[in-house]
Amino acid sequence: VTTMTSRLTKSQQRALCSQLGNVKLKLLYKASIHGFTGAAFHQQCDSQGPTVSVGYNATGHIFGGYTSKPFNQSGQFVQDDRAFLFAFKGEDLLKYQVINSNQAVKMIANSGPYFGESFALVNGSQAVVYSNPGNHYNFNAAEMHGDNLQLTDCEVYHVKENTDLEKPWRDIVWKSEKRVELMDSIKKYKPITSSVPQARILLIGPVGAGKSSFFNSINSVFRGHVTSQAIAGCSGTSLTTQFRTYSVKAGREGKPLPFMLCDTMGLEESTGAGLDVDDILSILKGHIPDCYQFNPSVPLQVEAHGYRRSPELKDQIHCVVFLIDACKVSIMPTKLEEKLAAVRRKAILMGIPQLILLTKVDEACPTVAEDLSNIYKSRYIKDMEVSVRLGVPLSCVVPVKNYYEELELDLKCDILLLNAIIQMLRFADNYFDDISDRYQNLETKEETPT
């Protein structure tokens, strides 16, 4: 028996799976082993459910199509509004969605996978591609396969639901007593440096990652019902144009809790849009006053109203939190990744600890959508590479689900949100520890006689 090995790299497989939910790929057919014929393809792939078909040519192009419908040999067109064609440009996935979904896939006996009247692999039982962009799928032929229609191989994978829940990679107690305990420890927290009344936590992330929603969600947990104070939404440009600091109260009439969430404009991919990296440096150092109005095209001016020339420790940022939408990790634009890396470098130089808050985890993984307590069992969430892409250890990645359309609080949701705050306060304490160590070292040096 010849063992079949996939020609797709792990990261190419991940990029495809990220378009299809919490799934894994199982290789069914490989033309170089089973033969470049329609008969061999149908024998291995008919009635197998959703599939990804991949073609390889001598110029190194990798391209293909996905259909959620099982293959057969009826000679008919099959309707599939989820079908798409794709090509890889390096490790990046280019996607061409079906245009005429009523004729998304054609079930032809004497051919390999046949998409509409636009594209086929192992066409007419030959090692060739049929390529005719237009009515069913529109793609750029040169970009997709470099106009080289000779196949060196063709693979078809079964797309399987990834149900393997692992042993949890973090242990969480999902009980209402735990929620009370977490809320109490947050209420009782005091920064270890007495000159600092509240730990200041800066929320940074791309537009729509859920910064304002996170503040609203934390506020909701302590209010005991879902509430929204910061304007949250999902428009293409940042809804937050000011630097805002938000204090959460322990209940409606309660006193402010010992932390402050600082919300900024979204980081947009393009330069001259979204938050300027130099502005972020001014925020980290504590120069920027609350309600400062950002102008994305001009960094902060020293003459700006309320600019703090010599900020104290209590004005500075004590922990930086990057919010990343779990659905978009695999398709994060390079420009955005560079902006986040630039901010990370500045925070590292200043010794400010950093956390990653992974938002919208329920939308990214069906197993988590079914039950939020699967969050730390989901291999999909754990293997998401967010720690690799942003260069932080997995221990600094905290998944949460913000409140969006819900009207009632949910215990599991609350526990994840409160755990995130606890983690931020621990990180802020590490920062205060470092500062006091440095301060003591300085004092010791000054006292040491020469």
Give the pLDDT confidence of 312-346 residue by residue, as tens digits.
Answer: 999 999 999 999 999 888 778 888 888 888 889 99
Residue 137's pLDDT is what? 96
Cβ(51)–Cβ(179) below 8 Å: no
- First-to-last CA distance in the chain? 79
**Parts of the chain with a pLDDT under 70:** 1-2, 163-166, 230-242, 265-276, 290-306, 439-450
Phi, psi of 2 (to 5 degrees): -80, 130
How does DSSP classify residue 297?
A: T
**Nearest Cα residue to 19 out of 336, 375, 330:** 330
Alpha carbon separation from 314 to 38, 156, 186, 199, 293 (Å, rounded): 71, 59, 18, 8, 21
| Angle at which helices 334-349 and 277-285 cross, to 10° | 30
Enter the tokens of residue 210: 């859920």
Residue 333's alpha-carbon distances to 86, 323, 336, in angstroms, are 18, 15, 5
Q: What is the pLDDT of residues 395-410, one digit of tens each?
A: 899 999 999 888 899 9
The whole-angstrom separation of Cα 318 and Cα 82 is 45
Distance of CA 421 to the CA centre of its chain: 20
C-beta neighbour count of 397 within 10 angstroms: 21
User: Which residue ranges form the domains of the chain, and what is each CATH number?
Assistant: 10-161 (no CATH), 176-447 (3.40.50.300)
CA separation (Å) from 66 to 16, 89, 220, 265, 278? 9, 17, 41, 37, 43
List the structure tokens of 203: 């929320």
pLDDT digit string (tens) for 208-264? 888 889 999 999 999 999 887 755 544 444 444 567 788 898 888 889 999 999 887
Dihedral angle of Cα 243, 275, 309, 293, to the nearest 10 degrees: -40
Q: How far apart are CA 375 and CA 147, in angstroms?
A: 44
Rounded to whole angstroms, the Cα distance separating 404 from 340 reads 25
Strands 256-263, 242-249: pairing kind: antiparallel
Q: What is the pLDDT of residue 233?
A: 45
CA distances, 380 to each of 157, 161, 260, 399 (Å) = 19, 11, 32, 12
Which SS3 state, helix, strand or coil, does residue 143 take? helix
Element (H, E) at 25: strand 23-30
397-399 vs 354-359, strand pairing mode = parallel
- List CB contacts of 47: < 8 A, sequence separation 6 or more: 70, 71, 72
Cα–Cα distance, 68 to 104 (Å, whole number): 10
Largest CA distance in the chain: 93
**What b-and-e string marks burial along 20-50, b requiring 16 or more CB atoms within 10 Å of the CB?**
bbbbbbebbbbbbebbbbbebbbebbeebeb
pLDDT of residue 234: 44
Give this prediction's pTM: 0.64
